[in-house]
Amino acid sequence: MAPSPVKKPIDGAERFDTTPLLIPSSTKRLIRRISSPGRTTITPLRLNIGLLLAAAPASLHAQVPVESVDQQLRALYDAEWDWRGKELGRPRGDGESGPGDHFPKMDAVSQQARIAYWTKTLAALDQIPVAQLSPEEKINAAVFRTSLEAFVANGGFRTWEMPFNADSQFWSGIATRTPFGKAEHYRRYLARLRDLPRYFAEQTTNMRAGLKRGFSVPKATLEGRDKSIEAYTVAEVESNPFWAAFADMPASIGDNDKAALQGEARQVIATIVIPAYARLLSFFRSEYLPKTRTTLSAEAMPNGKAFYQAQIREYTTTPLTAEQIHKIGLDEVERITADMEKTKAAAGFNGDLKSFIKFLRTDPRFYAKTPDDLMGVSAYTAKRMDGILKSTNGFLPRYRFTIRPVPDAVAPFYTAGRGGLESCLMNTYDLPSRPLYQIPALTLHECIPGHSFQAAVAREAPVPDRPEFRKQTYFSGYGEGWGLYTEYLGSRIGIYRTPYEEFGRQSYEIWRACRLVIDTGIHHYGWSRDQAIAYLADHTALSRHEVETEIDRYISWPGQALAYKLGELTIRRERAKAEKQLGPNFDQRWFHDKILSLGSVPLDVLEQQLDLWIADGGKNPFPDVR
């Protein structure tokens, strides 16, 4: 167990000391399997990704010049990426081509053709002698294989027949919130919107097929989700979210083009977009909701046990089973609860932990009165982190993000926040459910040095010329593991100024540990929604609204919530190893730079690369950057 938090002055603020993570030995044995090559018999996914980076015996392959083998691999993944971009209607990732001018084909025939292509590509990858690849291309091969295996596995379960969940929907995010820079970009956007009826019709057909075989989002998680469709059926064009991109067009677009584009937009929104959303809303309310399944567990669906294991593999990039993950979660909940007891004592509270959590949920001092109050706490946390960043990271990107409120159309059932390259979103809906003592940890995770910062580093870091597919690949275990790790880092660098803010961080950490218990509890052990809600409410300081929103997300998105804690455990374990082996030569700036310099990778690849970095002396991965 970690010792009681001790406050010490640092840069005029106060911080809580932390010690290296202490994990029960039973949990350690399970976690080590993350980096152990192996297979499972209940999923079509290959589970020996670690072998990609291992040196195979030379006798297995005729020796070929490294450059030639590297070229074989590059030709394969470049061809697949070019094909994928055309197949899915994505523009080039250069920021110059603007939005795609059409949506991808979503019909079953097109989906099966994609699976066939990916299966053939995977077979071609099998023929490349991985041991003869250069170090960077070995990583590329591991990432490429992991992605292909997930695509093929999902195809086997026909996941396109359940194209949304309680958290993310195919109909959301289509309306851009910011203006485009060029008239041609507007024309491409309008062409894309003209394709919306076909896109929605194909998605609807797929959803009907899913309903027919019992493969659907559970009904219990869909209450009120129709509002996210209804928001786009507003008949007054200039009040519709799709008008936002046209309301304030840049001066670089001439008056004549501006008038013509706005006129075309009015026509497209009124006669194409709004009717398409209205038809989707009618289908959702009158057909999908009445027929969607009443069970909760992923394993209750057709071929459910294999499906859930495949989802675990996709989101965690580990071969761990539901039973193993459940045990890791229980161990972590026990450890973090003990830490929370010590922080409660540091706050001078005399009651038990349950009473302390009730106090935090009900005392008005901990809640914002206006959205700007909440946004101000987030912005101030981000700015304070700016001042500390030079001591946590060596490479500092120039790209800047902004902090925005979550759009009104999705805020009622959106998570507390979400970060990306351009912006970091904070949810200001229902302020009594958004305790301010949790905003510092949330800001670190979503904004800086979490996801927004992480995305900027990926864009600018002086790494080898990485292929496009790597720049666009995201593994939740890596990305969300880093996000949760940055919350822990906040305790070491003085971000949390009071016991309440430290408890907020611990509440967020135990929340992610609870996910391991709850996700597996629901989808493997058959927990009810009420049982899951009670478990999360009893172990965290989250508000009732946040608890219910989160549980609905876990029910409808099997496996995704497991990635955070397993990724964070990997990073904290590697940090403890580096501190022990490198001693005074350990520099957290280079440790963090090394993690971010890798880009998004499976967890076993992350662990192996950090081990190599430690063995090489923990050097600055960007020695030429000043």
HEC string of 392-415 equals HCCCCCCCCCEEEECCCCCHHHCC
Name the token pair of 419.
């970060």
The whole-number pLDDT of residue 246 equals 96
- Cis upstream peptide for 44 (omega within 30°): no
Alpha carbon 558 to its chain centroid, in Å, reads 13
Both tokens of residue 39?
Answer: 């297979």
pLDDT classification of 87: cutoffs 50, 70, 90: very high
Predicted confidence (pLDDT) per residue in 267-303, tens digit: 999 999 999 999 999 999 999 999 999 999 999 999 9
Residue labelled with tokens 């030429």: 624
DSSP 5: P
The rounded distance, in Å, linking the Cα atoms of 509 and 486 is: 11
Q: What is the DSSP string of 263-319?
A: HHHHHHIIIIIHHHHHHHHHHIIIIIHHHS-S---GGGSTTHHHHHHHHHHHHH-S-
248-268: average pLDDT: 95
pLDDT given for residue 188 in this prediction: 94
Query: What's the rounded Cα separation, in Å, for the pair 150 and 167?
Result: 20
The per-residue pLDDT for 18 is: 38
Q: What is the rounded average pLDDT for all residues in the chain?
A: 88
pLDDT greater than 70 at residue 626: no
How many helices (DSSP H) and strands (DSSP E) are in the chain? 25, 5
> Do β-strands 423-426 and 417-419 pair in parallel, antiparallel, or remain unpaired?
antiparallel
What is the predicted pLDDT for the residue at 166? 82
pLDDT of residue 504: 95
Q: Which of 10-14, 98-102, 199-203 has the lowest mean pLDDT?
A: 10-14
Mean pLDDT of 424-449: 96
The pLDDT of residue 598: 94
**Mean pLDDT along residues 412-438:** 92
Residue 50, pLDDT > 60, answer no
Q: Where are the domains of the chain?
A: 7-26+310-570, 37-54+64-163, 183-216+223-291
**Average of per-residue pLDDT across 510-524:** 97
The amino acid occupying position 44 is P
Mean pLDDT of the region 458-474? 88
pLDDT at 546: 85
Average pLDDT over residues 212-241: 94
Rounded to an integer, the average pLDDT of 34-40 is: 35
Question: What pLDDT score was predicted for residue 92?
Answer: 54
CA distance 287 to 303: 24
Residue 14 above 70 pLDDT? no
Give pLDDT tens digits for 169-217.
999 989 998 899 999 999 999 999 999 999 999 999 999 999 999 999 9
Q: For residue 405, what are the contacts with CB-CB under 8 A and spacing of at least 6?
A: 371, 375, 411, 425, 426, 427, 428
Is the confidence at residue 451, as pLDDT, over 90? yes
For the segment 28-47, the average pLDDT, to the nearest whole number, is: 36
Taking residues 165-171, report their average pLDDT.
88
> Per residue in 211-241, is it b (16+ CB within 10 Å) or e — as a string?
beeebbbbbbbbeebbebbebbbbeebeebb
Residues 228, 172: contact at Cβ < 8 Å?
A: yes
Q: How confident is the model at residue 48 (pLDDT cuts 50, 70, 90)?
A: very low
pLDDT band at 513 (very low <50, low <70, confident <90, very high): very high
Query: Where is average pLDDT lowest: 318-327, 426-435, 535-544?
Result: 535-544
Report whether 12 contacts 488 (CB < 8 A): no
User: What value does the mean pLDDT take over residues 3-25?
Assistant: 36
Evaluate whether 117 touches 151 at the Cβ level (below 8 Å).
Answer: no
What count of Cα atoms within 13 Å lies in the side-chain half-sphere of residue 309?
19
With CA atoms as reference, report the closest residue to 277 among 179, 415, 162, 174: 174
Q: What is the mean pLDDT of residues 102-116?
A: 96
Residue 5's pLDDT band (cuts 50, 70, 90): very low
pLDDT digits (tens, 9 = 90+) for 330-375: 999 999 999 999 999 999 999 999 999 999 999 999 999 999 999 9
| pLDDT score recorded for residue 2 | 36
Its pTM stands at 0.82
